[in-house]
């Protein structure tokens, strides 16, 4: 029983890692009022650029850095289209997704050619903590990007709730007119959050290609970026609840694999559905909770004259 729990929990934590980076990035962007459906495309670009850098140089930190830079460039692109050009955010995100998917596949075809592996970040046992029974085994024998993803949650909470910057981000998403009249630059804040979101999506991709899977293939993320966006709504723009959602989704997924491995006789299609069904049902069951969506989400800011 103990081994089963450890196995499922470790699996869930690994599965949740890319979602955490991408969902927190998206949460921050949405809190400032920008919806980006193109997370998956940015993740793919991050995954490819990190993979390629590591393949050519063997330097993992450089790979991570390149993924962050590429993510930031995509963030700038998204911010330019959504904030400066005030495009319809639902559709521009789809454009970003199609573009990122195509470009990463194209670069892979022309620059790498065939499937290869790299040696990525290896598990890093945290001294002392990793010796705690069960908990230590589950949480403290992971790789550095997994730790990073979990460390991001309190960090994001702190920034969003306890700093002037967080206050400005929320103000811009909640009531841009008021924020504007108080001298907060809507454009600057939104550029900042979207670029930050791009960087985090880049890390999310890198966590797949140079830490968890250590390989790249066309469409490596297989739609994870869309799940990451969905988890933002599950989390109702709160980092801790985003974490709950990501862990819920990933745990159910880990359990359904476990159910299959142990030959429990349910058609695989139904077990595969479970993470999606459970996420919806749990969210519906929480209908009574109070949600404060950023009022200006998906609404470009126009200064009244």
Which residue, 159 or 282, has its beta carbon nearer to other proteins? 282
Q: Return the number of the residue (167 or 175) whose C-beta is nearest other proteins.
A: 175
Residues 197 and 75: beta-carbon distance below 8 Å: yes
CA angle 305, 80, 93 (to 5 degrees): 110
- Residue 1 in the binding site for other proteins (CB under 8 A): no
Confirm or reject binding of residue 272 to other proteins (CB under 8 A). yes
Report 238-257 residues binding other proteins (CB under 8 A): 253-254, 257
- The rounded distance, in Å, linking the Cα atoms of 39 and 46 is 10
CB of 75 to other proteins, least distance (A): 14
Out of 130, 233, 244, 301, which residue is the one contacting other proteins (CB under 8 A)? Answer: 233
- Hey, which residues between 38 and 97 contact other proteins (CB under 8 A)? 41, 77, 80-81, 85-88, 90-92, 94-97
Q: Taking the complex as a whole, how short is the minimal distance between the CB of residue 167 and other proteins, in angstroms?
A: 24
Contact flag: residue 277 with other proteins (CB under 8 A): yes
Q: Is 155 in the site for other proteins (CB under 8 A)?
A: no
- Judged by CB under 8 A, how many residues of this single chain contact other proteins? 83
| Cβ closest to other proteins, residue 159 vs residue 278 | 278
Subset of 170-209 contacting other proteins (CB under 8 A): 208
* Residue (of 199, 247, 202, 207) closest to 227 by Cα position: 247
Which one of the spans 60-68, 132-140, 168-176, 279-287 is the region binding other proteins (CB under 8 A)?
279-287
Among 65, 69, 159, 218, binds other proteins (CB under 8 A): 218
- Pick the closest to residue 237 from 17, 19, 30, 20 (CA basis): 30
Q: What is the 3-state secondary structure (H, E, C) of 245-280?
A: HHHHHHHHHHHHHHHHHCCCCCCHHHHHHHHHHHHH
119 CB burial (10 A radius; 0-12, 13-18, 19+)? exposed
Segment contacting other proteins by CB under 8 A, of 59-67, 129-137, 154-162, 260-268: 260-268
Count of CA atoms in the C-beta half-sphere (13 A) of 22: 37
Q: CB-wise, 164 or 267, nearer to other proteins?
A: 267
Which is closer to other proteins, CB of 30 or CB of 168?
A: 30
- Rule CB under 8 A: say whether 226 interacts with other proteins: yes
Total number of residues shown for the chain: 305
Cβ-count burial 37-70 (b if 16+ within 10 Å, e if not)? bbbbbbbbbbbbbbbbbbbeeeebeebbbbbbeb
**Tokens 């596949």 identify what position?**
105
């Amino acid at each position: 029983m103990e081994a089963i729990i450890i196995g499922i929990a470790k699996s869930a934590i690994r599965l949740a890692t890319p979602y955490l980076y991408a969902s927190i990035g998206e949460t921050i962007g949405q809190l400032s009022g920008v919806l980006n459906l193109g997370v998956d495309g940015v993740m793919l670009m991050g995954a490819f650029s990190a993979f390629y850098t590591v393949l050519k140089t063997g330097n993992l930190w450089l790979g991570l850095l390149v993924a962050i830079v590429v993510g930031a460039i995509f963030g700038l692109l998204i911010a330019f289209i959504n904030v400066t050009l005030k495009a319809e955010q639902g559709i521009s995100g789809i454009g970003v997704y199609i573009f990122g998917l195509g470009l990463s596949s194209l670069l892979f075809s022309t620059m790498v050619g065939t499937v290869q592996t790299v040696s990525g970040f290896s598990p890093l046992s945290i001294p002392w903590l990793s010796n705690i029974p069960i908990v230590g085994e589950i949480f403290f024998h992971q790789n550095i990007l997994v730790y990073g993803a979990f460390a991001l949650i309190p960090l994001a909470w702190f920034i969003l709730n306890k700093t002037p910057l967080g206050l400005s981000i929320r103000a811009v998403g909640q009531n841009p007119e008021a924020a504007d009249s108080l001298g907060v630059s809507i454009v600057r804040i939104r550029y900042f959050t979207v670029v930050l979101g791009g960087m985090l999506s880049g890390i999310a991709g890198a966590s797949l290609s140079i830490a968890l899977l250590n390989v790249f293939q066309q469409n490596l993320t297989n739609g994870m970026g869309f799940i990451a966006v969905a988890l933002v709504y599950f989390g109702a723009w709160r980092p801790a609840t985003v974490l709950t959602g990501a862990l819920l989704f990933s745990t159910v997924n880990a359990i359904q694999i476990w159910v299959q491995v142990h030959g429990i006789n349910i058609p695989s299609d139904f077990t595969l559905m479970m993470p999606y069904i459970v996420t919806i049902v749990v969210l519906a069951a929480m209908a009574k909770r109070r949600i404060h969506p950023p009022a200006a989400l998906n609404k470009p800011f126009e200064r009244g004259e």
